[in-house]
Amino acid sequence: MEHVEYVYTVGMTDEAVREHLERVDTGVLALAADGDAYAIPVAHHYDSGSLYVRLSTDGSSTKLSYLEETKTACFTLYDIGESGDSWSIVVTGPLRKLTGRERTQFDEAAVNESFLELRIFDEDVAAVDLEIFELEVESITGRRTGD
């Protein structure tokens, strides 16, 4: 690595990790099934140690089929500033669909308040269903460029 440029990274404080999770609207959710990986950008909401992701489907969702097979999901947030300073956070754990009373906490008003507006592609809006999942945090690792 004699000619490879590099910068040192250091661990982030728990407070810095929490601030990024609360401030940033999206990340990449990685799922796996039968040796195949599937990673997608998703909106998330972080509150009091709980990480929620909002997923949509029109009835034929690749992400939901991978989700059913994934034992441990990985959620990644990152940024690189104009100055080259960077940070990244990786959260791992199982995903659990909110049901019943938990799901009613995320009515339409709460979804609009908690998550970035929904991105719709070719789907018929009337046919799109929203599901909220909690990523049950088993580990969180935050790193940033050193001083």
Domain 9-145 has CATH 2.30.110.10: yes
The reported pLDDT for the residue numbered 46 is 96
The reported pLDDT for the residue numbered 127 is 77
Residues 102-115: pLDDT tens digits? Answer: 888 999 899 989 99
How far is residue 13 CA from its own chain's centroid? Answer: 19
More confident residue, 119 or 136: 136
User: Which pLDDT band, with edges at 50, 70 and 90, does 119 fall under?
Assistant: confident
Query: DSSP letter string over 13-42?
Result: PHHHHHHHHHH--EEEEEEEETTEEEEEEE
At residue 19, does pLDDT exceed 90?
yes
Domain ranges of the chain: 9-145
> What does the mean pLDDT of the chain come to?
91
Are the CB atoms for 51 and 71 separated by under 8 Å?
Answer: no
At residue 73, does pLDDT exceed 90?
yes
In this prediction, what percent of the chain has a pLDDT beyond 90?
Answer: 65
Nearest to 114, CA basis, from 45, 25, 16: 45
At residue 6, does pLDDT exceed 90?
no
Rounded to whole angstroms, the maximal C-alpha distance in the chain is 57
Residues 25-60: pLDDT tens digits? Answer: 999 999 999 999 999 999 999 998 999 999 987 666
The reported pLDDT for the residue numbered 58 is 65
